[in-house]
Amino acid sequence: MDRPIDGIDGRTEPGPGRSPAGAVPGARIVLDNVVKSFTSAGSAKSVLALKDVSLSIEDGAFVALLGPSGCGKTTILRLVNGLILPDSGTVRVSGKAPAPGPNAGFVFQSFRLIPWTNVLGNVAFALSATRLSGAEKTERARRYVELVGLGRFAEAYPSELSGGMKQRVALARALATEPDILLMDEPFASIDAQTRELMQIELMRLWTMRRSVALFVTHSVDEAILLADKIVLMGPRPGRILEVIDVGLERPRWSYDLRAHPRYIELRNYLWERIRDLVMNDPGSDFYGRDLGVMSSSGRSD
């Protein structure tokens, strides 16, 4: 068996230079042979959301979960946060079964701010379950509101903020507990393209300050390459890990310089083709079997 790559390892079908199976000793997050299915209310049929998923992530790694809709990306975040349990297999965070709490910061696509309290109150709320005193909570919340550049808006209510500002509040709230792990579920998917690029840079700035292990769900190949140390490529029906790719680009990565980098172009072409093939060969996808007349990177029309 090949040598595991640093920082992360998945039980996969490894391509050239990609990671094979096996756990990394001392990893912060470990999923071992996880199976998870769901039964929808009113339906006798169950959906196999994850099949035999194994993954080890070391401290300080920024990991993107990338793949088509329904391949189980969010399910992995929920398992790691202890919101749901696997049917079989194990999930360990810092060697223990995970439970929701201040050790993990969660950022959602839909912001999930409390409408009846202001920016400061939203961030302070995340500290409710900590042992900080009232004054310490306020001081900490204020510090994180400042850090995300919203000091002038500390007293503003969510309804007075733009989408980008709301997501900065959500980031401040996730970071304020100074968590060991940061879980982000398509956090920039409902933000306009320009703000999204600025938020990506902002996230990198904040993450670099502390380097919590980060799990970031995205549908965007560019976002995954821009942000991640490792990209976990997943496939649907059943949800599974196909391979784990070492991005291998130096930081900081400023998006426009990066796009011309040969490694960026290589990764982008490779990932785009794999995802396109996954979607077009998935009977559950809207694009199944359709001739989209797309060119591959080799110039072939498929």
Ligand X SMILES: Nc1ncnc2c1ncn2[C@@H]1O[C@H](COP(=O)(O)OP(=O)(O)OP(=O)(O)O)[C@@H](O)[C@H]1O
**How many angstroms separate the Cα of 11 from the Cα of each of 19, 20, 126, 156, 232?**
8, 6, 35, 47, 11
Instruction: Return the number of the residue (39 or 90) whose C-beta is nearest ligand X.
Output: 39
DSSP 8-state code for residue 67: -
Residues 97, 89: contact at Cβ < 8 Å? Answer: no
Minimal distance, residue 158 CB to ligand X, in Å? 23
Minimal distance, residue 110 CB to ligand X, in Å? 12
Instruction: Return the number of the residue (7 or 70) whose C-beta is nearest ligand X.
Output: 70
Minimal distance, residue 47 CB to ligand X, in Å? 5
Instruction: Return the number of the residue (142 or 240) whose C-beta is nearest ligand X.
Output: 240
Instruction: Return the number of the residue (123 or 234) whose C-beta is nearest ligand X.
Output: 234
Residues 234, 67: contact at Cβ < 8 Å? Answer: yes
Residues 18, 244: contact at Cβ < 8 Å? Answer: yes
Instruction: Return the number of the residue (75 or 81) whose C-beta is nearest ligand X.
Output: 75
**Cα end-to-end distance, the chain, whole Å:** 34
Say what the alpha-carbon torsion angle 8, 12, 18, 20 is, to the nearest 10 degrees. Answer: 70
Minimal distance, residue 43 CB to ligand X, in Å? 8
**Phi/psi at 39 (5° precision):** -115, 120
What residues make contact with ligand X under the rule CB under 6 A?
38, 40, 47, 49, 69-75, 239
Minimal distance, residue 25 CB to ligand X, in Å? 28
Instruction: Return the number of the residue (70 or 158) whose C-beta is nearest ligand X.
Output: 70
Residues with Cβ within 8 Å of residue 262, at least 6 apart in sequence: none
Residue 82 Rama label (left phi>0; alpha psi -120 to 50; beta)? left
104-107 β-sheet, strand order: 104-107, 181-185, 213-218, 62-66, 230-235, 240-246
Minimal distance, residue 236 CB to ligand X, in Å? 7
